[in-house]
Structure 1
């Protein structure tokens, strides 16, 4: 499994994300230039120029028409994907740490850090493709009373049908909120350190988290019980669920400031594969020379992409043997279709 190694960023990667069809790959890093790539061949399509600091987060809408980004320059920006044109720049009270479109792409949420005495906030904006009708003021904006003023919201995501908003913070607490008021409907204290990632499965019935406490947890979002605990020997910066197999992919590594060598073995910089039901670690992929900060699985389950502290993006396509390896729990119809395509 030889990856494409994409070199387009000058600083550590902060997020990589596929569009819904999987033909486009978006990336952002601690430089100020979000970048668009073709997934098939790794060709760099273009960049989105306008941020003046680290870009922490990005998310394309369901039609790949608009892209939202959030950065340390205290703005959440909306771009036209095809042209790279800046559609809107929305000022926030602090650096924007996480942003995500709601289902239907009619609104989006962004979480900003505490700054100059102001606490961390979540803002929800209504979106319309007509710039003249889009307000630069959020529909709803709230902070979390139980979150200390100096603590950050690290991740924000929507539940199915936009019923609730889920936040993760530096203390390892996951909260379920009413989107309009911010009222905490439920509080989950399973992690003990910073939440690094929160990713849904394809059907949005399960959520996987990764945290600095070296744990990745799989939740049933019907009642928010923990279905499985995956333990690592290093912080889990990123985790994702395969759409076609009962597999979980996790990545991370020893904190960059603690690493005294570039050896991937010493720093534990590999991407690990676990069986989602049995919890068994059955494989790993190495290559990065620094902690893996972000990963994304292709929507078809045909591969995955990682971005790391070394500034490189690695786009992997699974070998034919991967699709032939299955258990009775896998989606066999999807696997057979993929096997036919790869012949």
Structure 2
């Protein structure tokens, strides 16, 4: 399984995102580069001008028309995906670390974002915006609610099932469930002893996967937000994802991907095996590891399955992006 190597960044990767159709890959890094590539052959299509701030996250609408970006320069950008034209530049209070469009395919006109502290006067916050776009022009963007009632930095904020909740993960290891309409706290889950680093949902939003720097990942069912599985690894985890081929009813392709690795100051040798930089494939039901894929020379910061589930993309601390297309053995159910 030889990967396609993408050399478009010279600093650590922060986000890799594949569009719903599966043909486009967006990569973000601390070098202020936001690039778009073809997933089939790794050809770079272009870049988006986001200024000089580190790009922490991006998301694209289901129809792939609009791209939204969270910048460390305290800005949220909205681009026309096809042309790269900037439709909006929203000035925020502090460094923007995460952003995501709502998931309603008929009306994607809202996004949630999180910003960090900035100096003594700007406090970290989570906000939901409503955006009006007419004829490819952003005519209005308005804050629906703002929430600062939490003490630990928010690492990710995602829309829950049917856009009814906002789910956030924090440095203190907690996962918070907020009312998406009002911003009020519904539930706080003490999930981990160390930072909760990533959240991912299955295609039907029945299950939520999260992971932590403590080396564990947990699977929750979203009806009651109850943990039902725990996956233990031997490394800090930065990223996780659920295979889009997994079906709760048929139990087809019951796989999750986990990625991370020891930070540079903790690695005492140059051997990549010592740093534990492989991506790990786990059985979502039986909680056991079914495979690992090596390649990165530093921690995996971000990863995502391809839209068809026939491969995945990972971005590392060393600045490399790798596209893997699974071989025939995987597709022929060898790893079931």
2 CA distance for matches of 1:87 and 1:176?
31
2 CA distance for matches of 1:262 and 1:325?
35
2 CA distance for matches of 1:288 and 1:222?
37
**What are the Cα deviations for residues 302-330 of structure 1, in whole angstroms up to 9, with x where unaligned?**
10000000101000001111011258xx7
Corresponding residue of 2:117? 114
2 CA distance for matches of 1:257 and 1:135?
46
Corresponding residue of 2:60? 60
**What are the Cα deviations for residues 62-113 of structure 1, in whole angstroms up to 9, with x where unaligned?**
1111111101100011111101111101111111111100023111111111
**What are the Cα deviations for residues 207-238 of structure 1, in whole angstroms up to 9, with x where unaligned?**
10111111111111111111110111111111
2 CA distance for matches of 1:197 and 1:292?
12
The aligned runs of 1:11-160 (5 Å cut-off) are: 11-104=11-104, 105-117=108-120, 118-130=122-134, 134-143=139-148, 145=149, 147-148=150-151, 151-160=152-161
State the Cα distance separating 1:299 from its structure 2 match.
1.6
Secondary structure of the residue aligned to 2:132 is: coil
1 CA distance for matches of 2:117 and 2:157?
15
2 CA distance for matches of 1:27 and 1:50?
13
State the Cα distance separating 1:137 from its structure 2 match.
3.7
The aligned runs of 1:230-241 (5 Å cut-off) are: 230-241=231-242
State the Cα distance separating 1:133 from its structure 2 match.
5.7
1:277 aligns with 2:285: yes
2 CA distance for matches of 1:86 and 1:256?
36
Deviates more, 1:124-133 or 1:308-317: 124-133
> Higher helix fraction: Structure 1 or Structure 2?
1
Count of residues in correspondence between the two structures: 324
State the Cα distance separating 1:132 from its structure 2 match.
5.9
Q: Which of 260, 264, 270 is the matching residue for 2:272? A: 264
2 CA distance for matches of 1:253 and 1:107?
34
**What are the Cα deviations for residues 244-274 of structure 1, in whole angstroms up to 9, with x where unaligned?**
2101111100023323433210100000111
2 CA distance for matches of 1:64 and 1:23?
10
Asked if the contact 1:126/1:134 (under 8 Å) is kept, the reply is no
> Higher strand fraction: Structure 1 or Structure 2?
2
2 CA distance for matches of 1:136 and 1:25?
27
RMSD between aligned residues: 1.4
Corresponding residue of 1:341? none
2 CA distance for matches of 1:261 and 1:47?
36
Deviates more, 1:311-320 or 1:107-116: 107-116
**What are the Cα deviations for residues 8-56 of structure 1, in whole angstroms up to 9, with x where unaligned?**
0111000101000110001100011111000011000000112321111
- TM-score, with length taken from structure 2: 0.93
Corresponding residue of 2:248? none
Q: 1:10 to 1:133 in 2, by over 3 A?
A: closer
Unaligned runs of 5+ in 1: 331-343
